[in-house]
Structure 1
Amino acid sequence: MESRLLSVSCFIMLFLVLVNEVGALGGGRVLDVRKFGAVGDGKSDDSKAFQDAFANACSYTGGRSVILIPKLTFMVNSAEFQGPCKGPIEFRLQGTMKAPAGMVGQENWVAFRYMDRLAVTGGGTFDGFGESAWPYNDCIKNTKCSRLPISFRLHFVNNSVIRGIRSLNSKNFHMNIFMSNNIELSGITITAPAESPNTDGIHIGNSEDIKILNSNIATGDDCISLGPGNRNILINSVKCGPGHGISIGSLGKYEGETDVSGITVRRCMLTGTDNGLRVKTWASDIELKVYNITYDDVVMNDVYNPILIEQQYCPSGGCDNSKASSVQIQDVRFNNVRGTSKSQLAVKLQCSSKYPCSNVNLTNINLTYQGPEGPGEASCSNVRGSASGIEKPKACL
């Protein structure tokens, strides 16, 4: 009797394991990259095995395919995974994909293009091996600098999820999302040293309905940067720092840029960043609008420039300061922004004399500065709006 009960118990446990595994896979078939020749010793070039596994999955007409990258380290050169595919694909990264050293002059490391219903999951790591390439990044001083690859690209990708993965030490941007729609990124961890150049966490351009949720981003540049053409972007419960903050822009540099609207940053925390909530535009003749922007319930911990609109953006110097930006900013709400400023000028709204900012509202701003110069300050130029509730520093609107 005891042995029968033990057998039944073992059967139930096995059944539950199988059910959980099938559920985790979404009912799809599993393609282990090792079956396509991947070694996973961190030294051998496993690029072809990854490409072959993807080609198999992309051509499958029987439903979902799961490309499994087990808990080993796989060295992969520049990898382009391009659809359209005949069914949904889950790229389940449980181990580590590691980039080779250098890669100077390359645009991408891992890129997904023209995909629908893509899932990138598994809790694993994209290791960009950026420390091998950062010394080559002299773009601030050299306009003809060599290109370094972005670690992870989503271009023309729709209806997809990126969940629970890590990006470590990218050579350039960690993630770039372009011309994509209905993407959810959640539980993402992005890490690079504060001094690493141009290691933006997540950059988004010309995309719509993007969500970044419950993530931790520590970089040498913007934690999240939103370029032109973005609509309906939600950034919720993100921790940022070190880095340059959460930025809209820069905008107004290139012909053909389009409006930015419907941006919401909510329940975020920024710690030790160079900037906090920033909108940056170049002083140029390129016209576009930035509107319907909401920042709500944001905590600052020792942040320089916690609230910043700068429409004379010129990071390298040498710009014509007599020109005004042609980017019009309107309908911007800063609600319940609180914490500590590392600079006396906690709120700086420097708008365009050509197209002044309009309907900028500050509600319950409580930013403390403790320094020898005195209390925190706010500065406004070419801006129309209102302030209500807590005003610390005293509002300049």
Structure 2
Amino acid sequence: MELAAGDDCVAIGNGNLDVTVTQITCGPGHGISLGGENSEAQVEQIHVSKSRIFNATNGLRIKTWQGGSGYAKNISFETINLIAVDNPIIIDQYYCPRGGCALNQSTTLQVSNVRYSDISGTTTTKIAINLNCSQSVTCTDISLQNINIQSAAPGGTVEATCTNARGTSVGLVDPTVPCLN
């Protein structure tokens, strides 16, 4: 199935349990997003596989608000091809689309047991992987396995950043994610 929404191709928000998304082609738009514009969310058992995302702002995104509550857990992204995506892999616990959000709240949604495997492709920005977790609640059990994201620009370089995320890297993970061992 091919989706071109101009917004999230697939948006999975509060109350979603045991969702499978497979064999989609998505772009242009905002890619696949979990979480959203709510202060409370419970999202679990989400499986995205065998898909292609191109010319998108985001590829595989988990987005949560500061000060919210709930969780996003038991999530897997497998066998995904990303082509010219601005933010290929992103966990953003500082999501604030319209400004005016209070940062560094003492509560936030817990992100745990998230697995990215067999993800490849290109990015249009320098940051290919951005794990930006809350200062107050660590993202735990994040797993990257067989990841290869390169610059869409000839000769360009890419990197990964992370804040308060814990987990593992297995096999080839390019770019290297400094907070995962």
State the TM-score, normalized to the length of structure 1.
0.44
**Letter of the structure 2 residue corresponding to residue 241 of structure 1:** G
State the Cα distance separating 1:355 from its structure 2 match.
1.3
Task: Give the match for residue 307 of structure 1.
Answer: 89
1:121-147 Cα deviation digits (max 9, x unpaired): xxxxxxxxxxxxxxxxxxxxxxxxxxx
If asked which structure has higher relative contact order (CA below 8 Å, sep 6+), I would say: 2
Task: Give the match for residue 349 of structure 1.
Answer: 131
* Count of residues paired in the alignment: 179
Q: Would the alpha carbon gap of residues 324 and 375 (structure 1) be closer, same or farther in structure 2, given more than 3 Å must change?
A: farther
- Equivalent positions of 1:7-156 (< 5 A) are none
Task: Give the match for residue 269 of structure 1.
Answer: 52
**Letter of the structure 2 residue corresponding to residue 366 of structure 1:** N
Contact 1:330 1:360 in 2 (8 A): yes
**Letter of the structure 2 residue corresponding to residue 244 of structure 1:** H
Q: Would the alpha carbon gap of residues 375 and 328 (structure 1) be closer, same or farther in structure 2, given more than 3 Å must change?
A: same
Q: Unaligned regions of 5+ residues in structure 1, if any?
A: 1-214
Q: Does 1:223 align with 2:9?
A: yes
State the Cα distance separating 1:258 from its structure 2 match.
4.5
1:28-55 Cα deviation digits (max 9, x unpaired): xxxxxxxxxxxxxxxxxxxxxxxxxxxx
Q: Does 1:248 align with 2:16?
A: no
Kindly report structure 1 stretches of 4+ aligned residues shifted beyond 6 Å: none
State the Cα distance separating 1:321 from its structure 2 match.
2.3
Q: Would the alpha carbon gap of residues 324 and 246 (structure 1) be closer, same or farther in structure 2, given more than 3 Å must change?
A: farther
Q: Which has the larger radius of gyration?
A: 1
**Letter of the structure 1 residue corresponding to residue 56 of structure 2:** T
More strand by proportion, 1 or 2?
2
Contact 1:336 1:363 in 2 (8 A): yes
Task: Give the match for residue 279 of structure 1.
Answer: 62
1:88-139 Cα deviation digits (max 9, x unpaired): xxxxxxxxxxxxxxxxxxxxxxxxxxxxxxxxxxxxxxxxxxxxxxxxxxxx
State the Cα distance separating 1:229 from its structure 2 match.
0.8
Q: Does 1:334 align with 2:116?
A: yes
Secondary structure at the aligned position of 1:243 is classed as: coil
Task: Give the match for residue 43 of structure 2.
Answer: 260
CA RMSD of aligned residues (A): 1.6
State the Cα distance separating 1:371 from its structure 2 match.
4.2
Q: Unaligned regions of 5+ residues in structure 2, if any?
A: none
| Separation in 1, partners of 2:59, 2:109 | 21
1:341-379 Cα deviation digits (max 9, x unpaired): 111100000011221100000001100014489511000
Q: Does 1:393 align with 2:179?
A: no
State the Cα distance separating 1:390 from its structure 2 match.
1.1
State the TM-score, normalized to the length of structure 2.
0.93
1:209-241 Cα deviation digits (max 9, x unpaired): xxxxxx110011000101111100000000000
Q: Percent identity?
A: 37
Q: Would the alpha carbon gap of residues 325 and 374 (structure 1) be closer, same or farther in structure 2, given more than 3 Å must change?
A: farther
1:294-344 Cα deviation digits (max 9, x unpaired): 000000000010000000001122222232551000000000100111111
